[in-house]
Chains A and B, each alone.
Chain A
């Protein structure tokens, strides 16, 4: 088992990484002195993966929307009737799971009995048990979860924006699906998705805490050996070709909110992965900090004009099959805010001195990331599934120039790739 220490040592971090014969990758980060050990077992499978070909087959499969999230819920149920919540409770560990557009993550956080917690996490993810009865029962719970999101204005604002930006890519649909789509889910659908995407070669194990990395890797390797799995071939994820233009330029919804919520998005060309994708992420992140970060002239003019509050923000997000910027927050006057931004975003001067300061901020935030194990695991997993090593960030930050940012701006603000979502109060 040849291990390899990544070059994160500059900031005092020495992660150890391993790839098992089954294809499962493991990363362990020792954090001496911390009380808590945090572990995630994640699959590169999210809400948008609803159309695919299984390795070695030619048949394409379509599954109901929201199934990845449904599957996440159902993994907690086991044949003997006791669910995994109970086993973690016996160990005094906290467990949870979350589903996103491109990944599903199972986790525990514990301050003792780490080996037993690892065993339980492995069992949670590796032993599916779906029956018509237990699948039916979950529908009521998930329906309440969906209804809870439907009452969250910020969540609707963002969901509606994606729906408007994308004509075909399933990122336009809610992660949890709809009350109607989840009603059609069957145990058979769940098994197909499980067997396709919960294969070790599509998964990643992350552990951080006051632990011995060799011992953790050895422990997981032993558990995995019993399954005698070999790496599967590549899963073919089928995404419809996304046209350049948006689905709808402007969408509105009325909700019981106090003031309008406004969000504008720009669809970006997707298809990058690895270092190129990270570079794009970094360039776009720097661009938004320069244009609309809290130290920018534009942010402060809008703030003083009363058009935005301090929570107004802009960010770029990307995966292999989609990429976009989203800018927004609460505003008393959506039209005026939109026209100010359209007028100034392409014209704001980008200054070298400001650029150096923003890079400094990014370096500080990179170091601080290693203090919060939840955020760290989240970031590490998200980068990994896009073919990126988190440790590349400082080097890429170093490489990027102001000219790169200027070039990205010239290309990004295209009117036909722009959409706006607004939540309006009742009259």
Chain B
């Protein structure tokens, strides 16, 4: 049976700590189902939050081992399932995603959506427990793997430099916390603690459920109401933006690397729900969002200092980040050129053409998101956790109405907060 109404937008609502959102569409061959418990990111519980999805991935009542779960997913024509921890601002998301091919495109037209909903429900509601607790060996194995994942954060130098910068900026504010916790915090988690933690989430944590694909919204709402509609859940709070202030604090660190990573954080004081947000988006796009932008043209194309140079905004915590991968010796030159571009924006030195290119590029980006189920769900989550903001065609309209004066006004508000430079051990020029 195929649902005939395809509205191509999210239906659903947030009520009593739970939200269900369905995007019925015929654009996709797959159906993507997402569920998450939303928690405050905090040192006391983040390690349990990081572990729980992985432990739930190890077995359910119907499929008690990892092998049996994998076999079930294979039988569902290679359904993909992920259980992991995510982070958005100061929130920790205990996330579960399952994607199945819609049965109408498969031999004998199986109801893969029903099977996927069953699978997800098993994972959330019927974990494999032995004497009321998660088996020690499972918990110990997953603890070890998470600890290794925490140490492995240094492997990706670009990501590492970025996360060091955010840590320095946040300076104690919760959005700077790592979603996985520390190895010491992980060590303290036991199988008993995790069962209590699971029950607490099932009863009290705000819960979001979202589906994208050719599905019947009534069926999804019904599943939600029957399975997860009960309980007295905490109300959802929105993400707290950055409120601190550093005076161009510069930190240099050294590792055995071949390329320096220069990252700058700016305070914007604007989140996605603010009226100035569309002007901020245009500002960052002209400065460094695209290959026609000032940073790419001046740092890469004119000075040949970098392969990449970009700016992007964090719509939740009110920060703008600029990043470039450079030669160690080019630190001063690259920083000077970057700061000159920021200054040029303040002085209103951008043309109608730069504005027009930027608007078109965002139009392309925003519309293209709608071809990707994961991005559609991400956008919905962001709006929920920021507490508003425009998306899709409405965002495009708002960007089109932004004036150059409004961009200059934003430019004057954006202030350099913290600079982080990851350089080589042999680079003696930069004192730490």
Chain B residue contacts of A370, Cβ below 8 A: 29
Contact A295-B74, Cβ < 8 Å, known A137-B304, A259-B152 = yes
Q: How far is the CA of A147 from the CA of B326 in the complex (A)?
A: 9
Binary contact track A40-54/B, C-beta < 8 Å → 1, others 0: 000000000000000
Q: Which of the listed residues B29, B107, B155, B327 has the most CB atoms from chain A within 10 Å of its own CB? A: B155
A426 pairs with B258, CB closer than 8 A: no
B361 near A300 (CB under 8 angstroms)?
no
| CB-CB contacts below 8 Å: B357-388 with A | 357, 359-361, 363-365, 367-368, 370-372
Residues of B near A111 (CB, < 8 A) are 363-364, 367-368
Measured between beta carbons, the chain B residues less than 8 angstroms from A139 are: 304
Residue A99 at the B interface, CB < 8 A?
Answer: no
B357 touches A361 (CB 8 A): no
Shortest Cβ distance from A94 into B: residue: B364
Which of B13-21, B140-148, B344-352 is near enough to bind chain A? B140-148
- Do residues B259 and A144 form an inter-chain contact, with CB atoms below 8 A? yes
User: How many interface residues does chain B have, given as a range?
Assistant: 35 or more
A258 and B148 contact, CB distance less than 8 A: yes
Q: When the two chains form the complex, which single residue of B67, B153, B257, B300 contacts A300, counting CB atoms closer than 8 Å? A: B67
Known: A309-B145, A360-B75, A364-B76. A33 touches B304 (CB 8 A): no
B-contact 0/1 string along A143-182, CB 8 Å cutoff: 0110110111110000000000000000000000000000
Say if the beta carbon of A223 comes within 8 Å of chain B.
Answer: no
Taking a contact as CB atoms under 8 Å apart, the answer to whether B152 and A93 are in contact is no
Contact at B77–A141, with CB atoms within 8 Å?
A: no
**Known A-B contacts A34-B27, A91-B360, A92-B364; A148 and B71 likewise in contact (beta carbons under 8 Å):** no
B325 A148 Cβ-Cβ under 8 A: yes
A23 at the B interface (CB under 8 A): no
Whether B37 sits at the interface, judged by CB under 8 Å, is no
Answer yes or no: A332 CB below 8 A from chain B CBs.
yes
CB neighbours (8 Å) of A257 from chain B are 152, 154-155
User: Is B259 in contact with A304, judged by CB distance below 8 angstroms?
Assistant: no
Please, which residue of chain A has its CB at the minimum distance from the CB of B365?
A94
Given that A12-B105, A303-B66 are contacting pairs, would A35 and B368 also be in contact in the complex, using a CB cutoff of 8 Å? yes
Give the number of residues in A that approach B within 8 Å (Cβ atoms): 69
A271 to B: closest C-beta gap in Å = 31
Known contacts A34-B371, A303-B141, A367-B106: A153-B74 contact under CB 8 Å: no
Interchain CB contact under 8 A, B29 and A368:
yes
Partner of B291, one of A89, A141, A294: A89
Whether B76 lies near A92 (C-beta < 8 A) is no
Q: At the interface, yes or no: A109 with Cβ under 8 Å from chain B?
A: yes
> In the complex, which residues 369-389 of chain A have their Cβ closer than 8 Å to any Cβ of chain B?
370-373
A399 within 8 A of B: no
**Is A361 a contact of B360 with CB atoms below 8 Å?**
no
Q: Do A294 and B360 form a contact, CB below 8 Å, given A150-B258, A258-B151, A357-B75?
A: no
The 8 A CB mask of B3-46 against A (1 = contact, 0 = none) is: 00000000000000000000001111110000000000000000
Q: Could you tell me if B156 and A36 are in contact, using CB atoms closer than 8 angstroms?
A: no
**Is A272 part of the contact surface with B, judged by Cβ < 8 Å?**
no
User: What are the interface flags for B52-77 relative to A under an 8 Å C-beta threshold, 1 for contact and 0 otherwise?
Assistant: 00000000000001110011011111
Q: Which residues of A contact B149 (CB under 8 A)?
A: 309
Chain A residues contacting B77 (CB-CB under 8 Å) are: 360-361, 363-364, 367
Chain B CB within 10 Å — which of A93, A357, A363 has the most? A357
The chain B residue with its CB closest to the CB of A426 is B256
Contacts of B327 in A (CB 8 A): 144, 147
A-B contacts besides A34-B27, A138-B304, 17 pairs, CB < 8 Å: A35-B368, A85-B291, A94-B361, A94-B365, A111-B368, A144-B325, A144-B326, A147-B259, A148-B325, A151-B257, A151-B258, A151-B259, A258-B154, A259-B151, A295-B67, A360-B75, A363-B107
| 26 examples of A-B residue contacts, CB within 8 angstroms | A11-B105, A36-B368, A86-B292, A90-B360, A92-B363, A94-B365, A142-B307, A144-B325, A144-B326, A148-B158, A148-B307, A258-B152, A258-B153, A259-B148, A297-B67, A309-B148, A330-B148, A360-B78, A367-B29, A368-B29, A368-B30, A368-B99, A368-B101, A371-B29, A371-B30, A373-B371
A interface, CB within 8 angstroms of B: 11-12, 33-36, 83, 85-86, 89-95, 109-112, 137-142, 144-145, 147-148, 150-154, 255-259, 293-297, 300, 303-304, 306, 309-310, 330, 332, 354, 357-358, 360-365, 367-368, 370-373, 426
